Structure 1
Amino acid sequence: MWRHILAGLILSTGVALVHADTAHTAAAPDAYQQSIEQWRAKRVANLNAPDGWLSLIGLEWLQQGANRVGSAADNDIVLQAGPAHLGVVTLDKDGKLHIALAHGVDARIDGKSLREATLIDDAHATGQAKPTTVTFGSASFYVIDREGRKALRVKDTTAATRQHFLGIDYFPIDPSWRIVADWVPFDPPHDLQIGSVIGTIETQKVPGKAVFQRDGHTYELLPYQEEPGGELFFVLADRTSGHETYGAARFLYAALPVNGKVVLDFNQAYNPPCAFTAFATCPLAPPENRLDLRITAGEKKYRGAH
């Protein structure tokens, strides 16, 4: 799931970087710094896009049966934006979803002027398809599925979090935090329990571990892949967490191992959406990835934390 949300931030900027060799980085620090600055600029642009994470204004859990939706107080789900009575979202006992818009409401379902439709959530949108999106004015929502629980993820291009975004603070770019780690594959893959801020626990398959040294000590990190053959995704915490950096976790992607090595560029360690909004469902760093080490690279804690 995080592939669809976050990977676009990394793929467009990070692939060439992680395949650069250490000697080249040392020989051309200016080029390396420029590449990180470009990565940061794209990261901020995606975060602050009209439909980016800063546009979230709601995470509304659906109950089985009919859920009346709108901005008026007499709805089952009260939205922060939109018409007083938008319509009814029905969740049946088999997990199927249907929406019926109220008469006279100016709204679109996947861009079409429909009055009723089946809603496909993010867990059941196949291939390149996206979940069904209902748009009304500057706001919209689609359904997310988290371990069988379903909720409306509500966005608004005029959200206060987007309009008053304070930018991102960083540690200084430091090439020494671009670390070439040893890759130890697991055969078969290991199971890793990943909790989330909403209390769910998912079991992820871990294909191996990255082992690296820093200041004479050895550390290990366990990644998982959000899709078969995809990049390595690390959810990690360290001794800066909860102090200089966001407490729950930071994220890091890495290209697949080459010749038993994997590049961990902690200058690209970044905050999860939950650092910016209360309406996200981010994973937490598992105990295995909480390092007794100060990683003074990447993004710092957001100054405008909710």
Structure 2
Amino acid sequence: MEQRRVGDSGLVVSRLGLGTLTWGRDTGEDAARGLLETFVEAGGTLIDTAAAYGAGDAERLLGRLVDEVTSRDEVVLASKAGFVVRRGERVVDTSRRALLRDLDASLRRLGTDHLDLWQVHAWGDAPLEESLSAVDQAVTSGRVRYAGVSNFVGWQTAQAATWQRADPARTTLVSAQVEYSLLARRAEVEVLPALRAFGMGCFPWSPLGRGVLTGQYRVGVPRGSRAATEHFAWFVEPYLEPRSRGVVEAVVRAAEGLDLTPLQVALLWVRDAPGVTAPLLGARTAGQLAPALATEDLTLPPEIASALDDVSGGPNALRHPPTTP
């Protein structure tokens, strides 16, 4: 698999990442092992998890499987901190205490002494400088190699990056995670331009529109799909509306013309969009992952990518920047 640098940093990752949101809950150990084996055999290196995924179960499962399937040094382990569970509810806590506590717990669950990439999972109520001081301590102590943010909007990303660059002793932020797909293009307005300005990489989550762009919901909600589960229905439902259906049909038509699957068309559009480093794939089985990995030698014709831009919200200004007269 092709490898890409994360922004202007020295960190290099595969251009597709493996997400572990469902591990330990919807994805059991056997399925997770199959996913990891398939991903690594294809040349994938970036594996993304978080302290909040399955209340730590995703990290525990990943920690058991990494040394069994591959070598720790052969993968890029990325995790996130800042979501915590209190009295049965998940809340955002980006205080220094909570972030460093999450980090130490993540390292224990993953069975490693360091993370290759550690990300503040969301913008919180704690002062930004306090949250970022935890990032600095994590890197200085050797527990983290590179740092980034997740789910920050454009001005939040720029503020965090500017704060860190104001003092050479602070850790430069190298990446951001944000939802980005043909059904969620808001990142193009501020986040992607901010990342470009600060030399940061982008890891899109839900590049398949929370599964809707695969076409599986065209005639209803299939049994066993995420939308059919009590804990994920809320996540998918926002994209099961008329505007999304129009985008899905355009993806299906493009797939038919290119002899690809809708999943592959939607993924290629994101993978090769300007500013993207590596989309994160949330497949639950190796069978679901295989079509995505089969895109390695494929690209969308420019006219198809532009047509999908048009139908999903308009031209991508980063793909076709305006010319100066």
State the TM-score, normalized to the length of structure 1. Answer: 0.27
Which of structures 1 and 2 has the larger relative contact order (alpha carbons within 8 angstroms, sep 6+)? 2
More helix by share: 2
Larger Rg: 1
